Chain A
Amino acid sequence: MRLSGSNLALHYDSVVVSDDLSIDVPDGRVSVLIGPNGSGKSTLLRALARLLKPKGGAVVLDGKQIQDYSTKEVARRLAILPQTLVAPEAITVEELVAYGRFPQRRSVAGLRDEDRDAIRWAMQVTNTSEVRDRPVDQLSGGQRQRAWIALVLAQGTDLILLDEPTTFLDIAYQLEVLELLKHLNEVAGKTVVMVLHDINMACEYAHRLFALRDGKMVAEGDPQIVLTADLIRTVFGIDAHIVNHPTSGSPMCIPIPTAHAHGDLEAVPTPA
């Protein structure tokens, strides 16, 4: 197991997000973190990616504390795609993907053959080769996200972390991206860890589900086993039916509208 976090105390902007969080990331599998806003899922991912220094506990990567590596060394083992992505003006897809080779390059050297191969591979896998010369901000939502994924792919790491990679995408593009990640895991053996806000997508694509609430790990494991109505109630505070996806068999959560935080219109008269 290459990546793990033990007894993590995480603070963010002087807010205590968690005080004792542990996670073991299974190699070669797709892991998904779910939970409501403020549960600490993004914070945990950032700590695993060394973007956030834990106030307590440790993140261990390949047997060593992640803080003991240099930033470049971490970048050669682990890639992260953050949630907010801003491309500089008029930069093309190929130029963007080329940035992914930075950890492997020396600053002033040009691109070597292995760099070009990696870039080409990344674009082929993400199906962005035809748009290599188009400016990134001109692509469709799904294409753009795939271009960013090509960037982290070009890094050549086996560990890929993604923070809400599908949040603002149309559903077609969400599926595009998730299928791509699944393919990368199955064929190239990449370990994928991502935060998703859609429970059902999470269950469909995760080998291992991690459910957080209020900075605590409420449950972890195979979605088939772990996703229960109780879990949904504990983590999200709603009632839900759990059914199986008609084609894939993965568990799906169907919320049950319940009573209410609102007042009763029949009891309170409407003003004239």
Chain B
Amino acid sequence: MSATPVAVPASVVVAKRRSAAVVIAILFGLALVVSFATLGLGAVKVPQPEATKALFGFGTVDEVRTVRDFELPRILIAWLAGGSLAIAGAVVQGVIRNPLASPDVIGVTKGAGLAVVIVLLAYPEAAVSYLPVAAFVGGVAAMAIVYVLAYRGGTTPIRLALVGIAVSAMFESIIRYVMIDKQQAVGTALVWLTGSLAHVDMTTVWEFLPWVLVLVPLCVVYALKLDLLGLGDDLASGLGVAVERTRRITLLIAVLLASATVAVMGTIAFVGLIGPHIARRLVGSRHAVLLPASAGIGALLVLVADAIGRGIHPPVEIPAGMITALIGAPYFVYLLARSL
């Protein structure tokens, strides 16, 4: 029942390597194009040349305000958070050595969700500004729990994956119990959990930026070690990688990144899973190129999802998290078709 390995001709591999930089450039370029194209979409529509002009301060007060205060932050967050989430996903896949791993399935997302639900439902009067903090703490705590539970003289990628799934399931159960027991504010919690960029403003951007500036370069520093982890614990250790410590640190970085994105835009499904998948097909598995490529695709995914959510039926806004879930479905069907 195993998938047949796909034979990649040597010429394609060589071409792939040299053009990784080109691919990454194209991805980011595409994201830029989409950013500008969707600049004016939303409840208050601002058509194109006006929208770009408004970005630089030219145009009516309303146009400038709409573009600068509402659209711009969303696009910036889509870039930063979408890219970060995809990078976190790539790192998790590298540590667990499994392309199906993602922060969603190993407990981070559910932990963040649980924390948010608890805060929202137990203290409905709590200020909305507490939610991101709760999400962040929840995500990190969840990963800590998973790590501790998976630790038996050390962790293995398999145990991390399985315990992560189990802990996720437990959090999901608790979430459901809390929601049933205290049925108020279910709607808010759900919308928040589904993930959207609706409440994003420039303050959010400034608050999120430090995380990106610190954590993403750290990921790049660990890129080579992640490559070596992929060769197996024994060989990595033989080549001088402190395997358990590297696993711990890179997981921590990924979890911090993922939790921060949940704090900012809720849980947007599948970016952390599909972003790295597609990136790997385009540029290969070396993390030095995989991480930037994943970031590009992650940014694109969130940009497009948010744009669709805003633009499809204004003024009603469909949360970006739902759109990515809807994108996920055909992607998986495509994978199914390919595997048959």
Contacts and interface: CB of A to CB of B under 8 A. Distances in A.
Contact of B238 (A75, A88, A137): A75
Interface stretch (B166-174, B196-204, B222-230): B222-230
B17 interface: yes
Interface string A80-120: 11101111111110010001101101011000000000000
Interface in B250-283: 280
Contacts, number: 95
B239 A82 contact: no
Of the listed residues A46, A90, A135, the one surrounded by the most CB atoms of chain B closer than 10 A to its CB is: A90
Nearest to B97: A86
B335 interface: no
B234 A92 contact: no
Contacts of A82: 232, 234-235, 238
A49 interface: yes
Given A108-B220, A138-B10, A88 B230 contact: yes
A95 B286 CA distance: 9
Interface residues of B, number: 31
Interface string A49-76: 1110000000000000000001111111
A254 B280 CA distance: 51
Interface string B204-236: 000000000000000011101101101110110
A2 B227 CA distance: 30
Contact of A102 (B14, B221, B240): B240
A51 B224 CA distance: 21
A133 B10 contact: yes
Contact of A75 (B13, B14, B222, B239): B239
Interface of B: 5, 7-8, 10, 13-14, 16-17, 220-222, 224-225, 227-228, 230-232, 234-235, 237-243, 280, 284-286
Interface of A: 46, 49-51, 70-76, 78-82, 84-92, 95, 99-100, 102-103, 105, 107-108, 133-135, 137-138, 152, 155
